[in-house]
Amino acid sequence: MNTTNLAPIPELYVSYESAQKLRVDAGNLISWDLTPRQICDLELLMNGGFNPLKGFLSEADYHSVVEDMRLANGALWPIPITLDVNAGFAEALEPGQDIALRDQEGVILATMTVTDRWTPDKAREAEKVFGANDDAHPAVNYLHNTAGNVYLGGPVTGIQQPVHYDFKARRDTPNELRAYFRKVGWRKIVAFQTRNPLHRAHQELTFRAAREAQANLLIHPIVGMTKPGDVDHFTRVRCYEAVLDKYPQATTTLSLLNLAMRMAGPREAVWHGLIRANHGCTHFIVGRDHAGPGKNSAGEDFYGPYDAQDLFRTHEAEIGVEMVDFKHMVYVQEKSQYFPANEVSKDDTVLDISGTELRRRLSEGLDIPEWFSFPEVVTELRRTRPARSKQGFTVFFTGFSGSGKSTVANALMVKLMEMGGRPVTLLDGDIVRKNLSSELGFSKEHRDLNIRRIGYVASEITKNGGIAICAPIAPYATTRRAVREDIENFGAFVEVHVATSIEECERRDRKGLYKLAREGKIKEFTGISDPYDVPASPELRLETENVDVDNCAHQVLLKLESMGLISGRN
């Protein structure tokens, strides 16, 4: 029997003694503070999860991966693992220089010898790797709006693993998992990748997969970074632990993978297979729409539902794990059992609850039937996501100076306070600039910083069950989207475009600022000498001309009610 999946694989860590010395020496190096995504990538580079990579990709490897899904030496590798930095940091480096890589608390995790430095063609990367240069794709959005503009490449020397305080006993490096499989005598292991809570359909699917492959089962969920808006990993892991008891003892194990997903569909499936091969698995489940990012900006799916299976099949031998492909699982009422969608007959009554429908039922506190999920899982989900009328949320007004944002925001605040139930905080543009952002001006960089601060405070308020009302100009769509993504992790984000025209704002000129802007005495004035991206699809657009404030605030209340955020029971 082939047992190469059980032998240790190479890691990038130095010995304990060398690490002590290297840590001291590295204190003198120029250092880069890793982003959350880079920390995930570094962990899997160092522990062998990304074997055969020896560091962040060189320029030659990067181009080859983008164009052909292969490293320059021909080895299959579908996703660019690059160290993106800002131009200022990159320019200060000499070729061949060592840098220290630090986590967000400043702990040195590794050093890297910078052999390559280049400015990537991000549009090309998006087209080739993600299939479209469309910001509706979360990884393309990240590429253009979060990632730095310069990439650094070079080998990494590992000093220590990133620190995790949560679920330590459930986290395993590839070699730890291999050692576990050796110890318990598992030879065939089928891995199940997931970024969602497990429901009965998943359990049935994984059961069947293990049976088909005559293998043991590794539930291998992602706890690094998943799609914005997903259920947080704390909740999910509690759900997985509850479901683990439903599997026959000693057939199944659970291990957490600190991967930063890219949602790259077919390429991502191949990547996931390679990573599972490194973790000692022999089989890998690829279901419908594996690692799918949702709809593109034209409202169509980025990838076909079985594209991932097709690409995986083409490369199966090289990946080194066998694919167990599955169709979508559905519940057949007459048989009280789950079946793959292609195995049900015409006369069967098929029941299914989509992800969207599940979220709706959770958010409205509606019934979730036993055939769909386990009571323990539903209880966990309800604990984290109470009905929408009990969650925190953010109302984010955006519009020109003098459009009426603050006035409507104030009226809304008072109406919400009158209703009671949740604390309300107003983060008005002027108030924030006085209290949080007094040192900032109106350059793009400063405006972005200002909005990110507002977003941060609003997300904390939302997380803790309060209502945040924000009323800055917030002229840039990408920054508003970033704030939305932060907040939607915890509750609803309601974007309200106060659509008063620039002509009307200038005519009103309440603060006399438009006059000064026209005279050139105020530079970079939004709508006059600085841009404003009109929101493409806000939750609500308010026309304020000839409409009184009370009515505007009332329109917002109606919107909140229609979204289930306020109810009579509040």
Instruction: Indicate which residues carry an active-site annotation.
Output: 194-196
Which H or E run contains 280? none
Residue span binding ligand PPS (CB under 6 A) among the ranges 43-51, 176-184, 365-373, 466-474? 466-474
Q: Is 132 or 449 the residue whose CB approaches ligand PPS more closely?
A: 449
Query: Could you say whether residue 484 binds ligand PPS (CB under 6 A)?
Result: no
Instruction: Say what angle helices 477-488 and 138-145 make with each other, to 10 degrees.
Output: 130
Query: Could you say whether residue 278 binds ligand PPS (CB under 6 A)?
Result: no
Residue span binding ligand PPS (CB under 6 A) among the ranges 3-11, 157-165, 203-211, 469-477? 469-477
Q: Which amino acid is at 11?
A: E
x/- map, 400-439, ligand PPS, by CB under 6 A: -xx---x----------------------xx--x------
CA–CA distance, 68 with 74 (Å, rounded to integer): 9
Query: Could you say whether residue 442 binds ligand PPS (CB under 6 A)?
Result: yes
DSSP per position, 458-505: HHHHHHTT-EEEEE-----HHHHHHHHHHHHTTSEEEEEEE---HHHH
For residue 398, the SS3 value is strand
For residue 349, the SS3 value is coil
Residue 215 CA to its chain's centroid (Å): 31
Which H or E run contains 68? helix 59-68
Longest dimension (CA), the chain: 82
CB 396 → ligand PPS: shortest distance, Å? 11
Q: Is 334 or 430 the residue whose CB approaches ligand PPS more closely?
A: 430
Rg (CA), the chain: 26
Query: Could you say whether residue 514 binds ligand PPS (CB under 6 A)?
Result: no
The span from the first CA to the last CA of the chain, in angstroms, equals 64
Question: CB nearest ligand PPS: which residue?
Answer: 429
Size of the site for ligand PPS (CB under 6 A): 21
The binder of ligand PPS chosen from 64, 111, 450, 555 (CB under 6 A): 450
x/- map, 516-545, ligand PPS, by CB under 6 A: ------x-xxx---x---------------
CB 449 → ligand PPS: shortest distance, Å? 8
Paired with 541 in beta bridges are 497
CB 464 → ligand PPS: shortest distance, Å? 24
Q: Is 220 or 447 the residue whose CB approaches ligand PPS more closely?
A: 447
Q: Is 374 or 532 the residue whose CB approaches ligand PPS more closely?
A: 532
Residue 9 CA to its chain's centroid (Å): 29
For residue 338, the SS3 value is strand
CB 429 → ligand PPS: shortest distance, Å? 3
Residues in the chain: 570
Q: Is 301 or 524 the residue whose CB approaches ligand PPS more closely?
A: 524
Residues contributing to the site for ligand PPS (CB under 6 A): 401-402, 406, 429-430, 433, 442, 447, 450-451, 472-475, 511, 513, 522, 524-526, 530
